[in-house]
Chain A
Amino acid sequence: MNTQDNKRNILENLKKDNPFQVPENYFDSLGSRISNRITANTSTEKQQYISFAMVKSTLVFAGGFAGLALIIYFGVSIFFTKLGVEKNTSQNEIAFLTEYSIISELDESTLIESFSKENSEISDSLHLENNENIINYLVKEDIDISTIIDEL
C-alpha cells in the first residue's frame, strides 16, 4: 500500500525548480531586441508606403500627360479639318504613289501576262454583249428558230 502511495506522490514530491537556463543577460537585452525588430518592421512598412506613394504620383502624372497629349491631338486634327485639308487628297496621293511604286517593281513578263488577262476579260464581255444583241435582233424581227435552221 505504501509503495502505491509513494508512486502516486512521485509528481508531488518532485522539485518544481526550473531545470532550464538562459544565456547570461538574456532577459536584459530581450526588450531592446524586440523594440529593434518592431522599429525595423515599421520603417520597412513606411518605405513600402512611400515608394507606393511615389509610384502613385508618377502614374497620376503620366496619366495626365497622356490625357493632355490626346486633347492636343484631337484639337489639332479638328483644326486642320476645318481649314479644309482633305484627308482624301492625301489618301489619293498615297494610293498613287503606292501604285506607282508597285508598277516600277513589276517586270516585263508580269505586265504582259496582266494585260493579256485583262484583254481576255474584255473579249468575254464583248462576246456576251454580241450574244445579247443577236437575241434582241431575233426577238425584234420575230424570227423563229426553225427559219434559222432552214436558212442554214
Chain B
Amino acid sequence: MTDYTDKDLLAFFRIEEKKHYAFNSLVGKYQERIYWHIRKLLINHEDTDDVVQNTFIKVWNNLADFREASQLYTWIYRIATNEALTFLNQKKRKFFLPIVDYEKELINSLEADEFFSGDEIQLKLQKAILGLPEKQRVVFNLKYFEEMKYEEMAVILDTSVGALKASYHHAVKKIEKYLESN
C-alpha cells in the first residue's frame, strides 16, 4: 500500500469513490500505534481489540467533520485515549470495583496473559505503571515508550505542557520507588 500523507488521505476520504480506500489506508497506517497505546492501558488483548475497532469506527463516523485544526494522528490518539479510559471506567462500574481492586485485577490479567512475553524486570515495570492513576499512566506511556513530544501530548490530552511535565515527573518518581522497593 502506498504511503500517503495524512493530507492526501483526508482529501481522498472526501471523494465518495475513494472513501473506503482512504480509510483502509489510514487504518493500515495507524492501527499498530493505536493498538499498542490502548494495549498498555487495558493490558488484555481482547479488550484492546474491541476498543481499537470502536476507535476506528468513531474515526470513520467523524472524519468527514475533521477540520484539520490539529494533526490527524493526534486526533486519532485523542479518540483512542478517550475510548480506552471510558472502557476502563465502564468496567469498574460494571463490577463495582474500587480502584485498588481494579489495579489488582489488571495485574492478575497481566500475569496470566499468554501474550505477555516480557522478562521479570519488564513485568515489574508494568506492575509499577499499573499502580499509577489512569491519566498519569497515559502520560507515562506516551512519554516513556512512545517518546512523544509534550506539545503533541498536550493536544491529545487537552492539558498544558507544564501540567504534563509535572505529571510525568511524579509518575517516574513513583515507578522508581516501586522498582527500588520490590
Chain A residues with a Cβ under 8 A of chain B: 7-8, 10-11, 14-23, 26-27, 30-31, 33-35, 37-38, 41
Contact = CB atoms under 8 A, between A and B. Distances in A.
A14 B40 CA distance: 17
B176 A23 contact: no
A19 B116 contact: yes
Interface stretch (B76-84, B117-125, B150-158): B117-125
A8 B28 contact: no
B85 to A, nearest CB: 19
B81 to A, nearest CB: 18
A31 B25 CA distance: 9
A32 to B, nearest CB: 8
A20 B122 CA distance: 10
Ranked 3 nearest A-B pairs via Cβ: A19-B118, A19-B122, A21-B115
A33 B27 CA distance: 11
Given A20-B40, A34-B53, A34-B56, A8 B115 contact: no
B135 interface: no
Q: How large is the interface on B (under 10, 10 to 19, 20 to 34, 35 or more residues)?
A: 35 or more
A34 B172 contact: no
A20 B71 CA distance: 28
B57 interface: yes
B30 to A, nearest CB: 11
Interface string B100-139: 0000000000000101111101110110000000000000
Interface of B: 20, 23-24, 27-28, 31-32, 35-36, 39-40, 45, 49, 52-53, 56-57, 60, 113, 115-119, 121-123, 125-126, 144-145, 172, 175-176, 179-180
A19 B180 contact: no
B39 A20 contact: yes
Nearest to A13: B121
26 contacts: A10-B180, A14-B122, A14-B125, A19-B118, A19-B119, A19-B126, A20-B45, A20-B116, A21-B115, A23-B45, A26-B49, A27-B31, A27-B32, A27-B35, A30-B27, A30-B52, A31-B24, A31-B31, A34-B56, A34-B57, A34-B60, A35-B23, A37-B57, A38-B57, A38-B60, A41-B57
B176 A7 contact: yes
B27 to A, nearest CB: 5
Contact of B36 (A7, A10, A18, A31): A18
Nearest to B113: A20
Contact of A16 (B20, B49, B145, B180): B145
Nearest to A41: B57
A146 B115 CA distance: 130
A11 B121 contact: no
